[in-house]
Chain A
Amino acid sequence: MNTHPMVKAQGVHKSFGAAHILKGIDLEVAPREVFCLIGPSGSGKSTFLRCINHLEQINAGRLYVDGELVGYRQKGDKLYELKAGEVALKRRDIGMVFQRFNLFPHMTAIENVMEAPVQVKGEAKAVARARAERLLDRVGLAGKAKNYPSQLSGGQQQRVAIARALAMEPKLMLFDEPTSALDPELVGDVLDVMRGLAEDGMTMIVVTHEMGFAREVGDALVFMDDGVVVESGHPRDVLTNPQHDRTKSFLSKVL
């Protein structure tokens, strides 16, 4: 039984040029945990998420996924940058869902889901197709397999995107404001799929503005502002009884 956290951040800093986005993030995400990140826009929560699968490179601190350093290899007291191929290898185990879906528009729904297993893992097409059908069924889109993304609603696209990430059988799923680009009436379907994933024990880090989802499904919650963690704890506690003034004023605006 592995006892180390799925994600561990120690003093993570990130800047883009002169803009200092993350100013020392420390947190731990346990396996099978649903970990919610909330905060005003520009607080660095999306940036932090993107650092976890090395879409952004951190400038200082240490970031571990499943006990392994992200983006670097440590030998003695020296850090070696990982090659692009090694980074790609590690990303296989981390699924990511984007705010803007980012489905491949030139492929049908099922081709989107099959793409990575076939191209990255070299899986046989029949095997990948069978899994893709299962996954599309799971997200409630069995009938839309042959549709192109442009023929699907936003909510359907996002569910295909979740299926696409799950097709790589990741040990960790990152959600970057998965419902922020959706019409309010379509949000529920996507959240239902995420709830199902949580029940199955997937480790999830969710950047979200859906406080209801965080309270109901989340195991841990962090409120970030201006690049630092302001407050953390169980979602129920933080959302109903915030300790920090900044948290209080944020929650009073969004709840």
Chain B
Amino acid sequence: MNNKIKKIPSGVIPAPDGIPPQAIKAIPVRHYGRWISAVVVLALLVGLVYAFSQGNVRWATVPDKLFDASILTGLRNTVYISVASMALGLVLGVLFAVMRLSKNPVTSTIAWLYIWFFRGTPVYVQLLIWFNLALIFPILDIGFYRDEMTDVMTPFLAALLGLGLNEGAYMAEIVRSGIQSVDEGQTEASHALGMTQAKTMRRVVLPQSMRVIIPPTGNEFINMLKTSSLVVAVQYQDLLRSAQDIAATSFAVMEMLFVASIWYLALTSVFSVGQYYLERRYARGSLRALPPTPLQRLRANLNLFRRSEVAR
């Protein structure tokens, strides 16, 4: 009995009599492997940079043409077609996702077929099909509207339909998974309050599914910015085509591809930041505290710095 009481509760280490606890000073393990791998990787990088510096590249052309008027026009067109196609893809994605989940077997089968076709064929082929539509339908006639197909199917429209309809199929799957990720109890609670199916979808299910939908949608958009370079195939004047046009006359082929790459990188970087803020907005309610914005983090770090100075 006495023994039990004297027993030290687990987790509590008693200080040996008279000796105050001391911080441990030990020789740390040396991670030689880390040093070696760092050196190897750096050596490879230096080699790569050296190779490019020795290559037959007229580097001066790159900054020279970076802000060329036709490059900037191409850049604007790339953003324009990407945003427009993504918007079309989003609308179609929500529509087909809802159709796919509907209890009506006809609509869900149609949605399945759409997704099957547009996901199952290369976007490049789809672009060419839209572009060449005039070969099989020389005249567009939809009752109230009638025109030559070549006049209707401009490079812009061909690009928009090609990219947008393809994106719609991918977005449909993303939206569907988002909708299905929302707990069934949410729909029940909403129905129990007397909300209709449509209201439930709009007010309760879709806002919550956003948290699941937004990250892959951001990826899709960044992919779209790059995939849009395929619209060269339908004569659309995008960033890549503008760069190639200059390359064709100046023979600075690689240099102009570098220019295009710099702009693509700039675009994707900017939109990645936008995605961060969008995700943060839709995390409301699911996280107890929102993650800080980069600005807030910077300010917090500065404060931390200041406080430690005061302490000193």
Contact = CB atoms under 8 A, between A and B. Distances in A.
B43 interface: no
Contacts of B204: 104
Secondary structure of the B contact surface, majority rule: helix
A120 B189 contact: no
Interface string A92-121: 101110101011111110000001100110
Interface stretch (A82-90, A135-143, A200-208, A239-247): A82-90
A168 interface: yes
B192 A120 contact: no
Interface in A135-194: 148-151, 161, 164-165, 168
A98 B185 CA distance: 9
A180 B270 CA distance: 48
A119 B195 contact: yes
Given A115-B193, A120-B193, A55 B285 contact: no
Contacts of B183: 102
Contact of B284 (A55, A148, A161): A148
A150 B287 contact: yes
B306 to A, nearest CB: 30
A164 B284 CA distance: 20
Interface residues of A, number: 33
A47 interface: no
Given A115-B203, A120-B199, A151-B288, A106 B208 contact: yes
B286 interface: yes
B109 interface: no
Contact of B191 (A88, A150, A151): A88
Contacts of A164: 193
Contacts of A92: 193-194
Interface of A: 53, 55, 84-85, 88-92, 94-96, 98, 100, 102-108, 115-116, 119-120, 148-151, 161, 164-165, 168
